[in-house]
Amino acid sequence: MAVITIIGTNYVGAVYAAAFADLGNQVYGVDIDERKVQLLSEGISPIYEPGLDELVTRNLKAGRLRFTTCYDEAVPVSEFVFICVGTPSSFSGEADMRAVRSAAEMIGKTIRGHTIIINKSTMPIGSGDLVTSIINQVKSPDATFAVVSNPEFLREGSAVQDVFNPSRIVLGAEDREAAERVAELYSALNAPVLITDRRTAEMIKYASNAILATRISFINEIAQICEQYQADVKVVAQGMGLDPRIGPLFLDAGIGFGGSCFPKDVKALSYMAQEAGCHPQLLHAVLEINQDQRRRFVHKLQTMVGDLHQRPIAIWGLSFKQDTDDIRESPAIDVVRMLIQRGAIPRCYDPAAMDNAREVVPEAEYFDDPYEAVRGTDALLVLTPWNEFKQADLGRVADLMRQPVLLDGRNLYDPADVRRLGFRYAGVGR
């Protein structure tokens, strides 16, 4: 059993804290947000992540998991300290490192003996050096430490499953022994371990997210061409995916990628490339295509129904993907804002994300029932692929609408089936 501190208890930190506790370790979750700490201490996750509440509650009851706002309570007794704080994009695209700097300073002031500090947050290349420098400036003379880069590859909506079934464990360190000790924390998991230097490990995370974002923008560009030549992008993607050199994943055309990782990390990698004198043409194109998808979708709506002023438009889905309440960089939120700018009246429903959406787009209308959201509307826009939308009674939807127009931003439905119900239908690339 190891004693572990996790700094930051949002999507990544909360999941890893509960998971490491479930593997038999004594874990402290530290966060400066008192409300978040109180909720977690009661077994209530402040985020929507399937299975997380149960995982937290089980380990709180077992006495292996504790949440606190106090670094002094956790860090001095810990062998391992994970930094899991946010690194959002600044206006320039550069990663905002203020939370990392603050965490590193507090860790440095409170470590005792020898401690291994693990950078779990997605940080710019060279951040291991930065954290090392900050800690060296403030630590006590008798404290020693090593810094290991250990990027996370969790998917929101399946993070609990992912944390126990990782595709790989990437560890970057200048101190091989420190990396091997971190590897031991994951030894109960059946996953390959790659040990390299810190900068290479940091780059692996950015490069991984960039290639996945690139695949999405690629298939969305193909979807545009399909629409002009009456080809079906879903079948095109299926045919492409059967090639083992390509594979089927991340070839779903839609209204673009969002969330806390892909947009932020592609922007940050592009910024780093430019700062180093490189010309990241492909990364720029990936971001441009992604934004274009949202604008094209709204333009498609205008083409189908005309002027949007005072038109009630139903919205199904607000989170950036299914099985999460995260609306950060959500394409759906961008579409809602565009509709409002054009004078439309968005009538919104989402199974998990409406409270978050209300905070950023209070002008929209919100409904607790998807069918009430479509009542009397001139179009339905499906923007997030929640399972309940796939199983919706579209015949009932058509009857409730003023005009049965359906824009399928995630290609959930068979166009022929929908049209037989009387809808005017448009998907993406179909």
As a whole-number percent, the residues of the chain with pLDDT over 90 amount to: 97
**Is residue 261 annotated as a catalytic residue, yes or no?**
yes
Whether residue 59 is found in the same domain as residue 188: yes
CATH number at residue 63: 3.40.50.720
On whether 307 is known to bind a ligand per the annotation, the reply is no
Q: Which of 196, 220, 248 is the last residue of a domain?
A: 196
Residue 122 labelled as part of a binding site:
yes
Is position 83 within any domain? Answer: yes
Region 303-319: what's the mean pLDDT?
97
Judge whether 31 is annotated as a binding position.
Answer: yes
For residues 345-361, give the mean pLDDT.
97
Query: Is 154 among the annotated ligand-binding positions?
Result: yes
The pLDDT value recorded for residue 414 is 96
Binding site annotation covers 250?
A: yes
Same domain, 183 and 291: no
Structure tokens at 26: 């004594």
Domain that holds residue 342: 262-426
Query: What DSSP state is assigned to residue 368?
Result: S
Predicted local distance difference test score (pLDDT) of residue 260: 87
Buried b (16+ CB within 10 A) or exposed e, 101-133: eebbbbbbebbeeebbbbbbbbbbbebbebbbe
Number of domains in the chain: 2
| Same domain flag for 142 and 62 | yes
Annotated binding-site residue? 42: no
In this structure, what token pair is assigned to residue 117? Answer: 């500090």
DSSP structural state of residue 2: -
Catalytic residue among 84, 226, 261, 348: 261
Confidence band for 120, pLDDT divided at 50, 70 and 90: very high
Indicate whether 352 pLDDT > 90. Answer: yes
Give percent of the chain above pLDDT 70: 100
Whether 288 and 164 map to the same domain: the answer is: no
pLDDT value at 91 more than 90: no
State pTM to two decimals: 0.93
Let me know if residue 221 belongs to a domain.
no
Residue 153 is assigned to a structural domain of this protein: yes
Grade residue 92 by pLDDT with cuts at 50, 70 and 90: confident
Per-residue pLDDT band for 391 (boundaries 50, 70, 90) equals very high
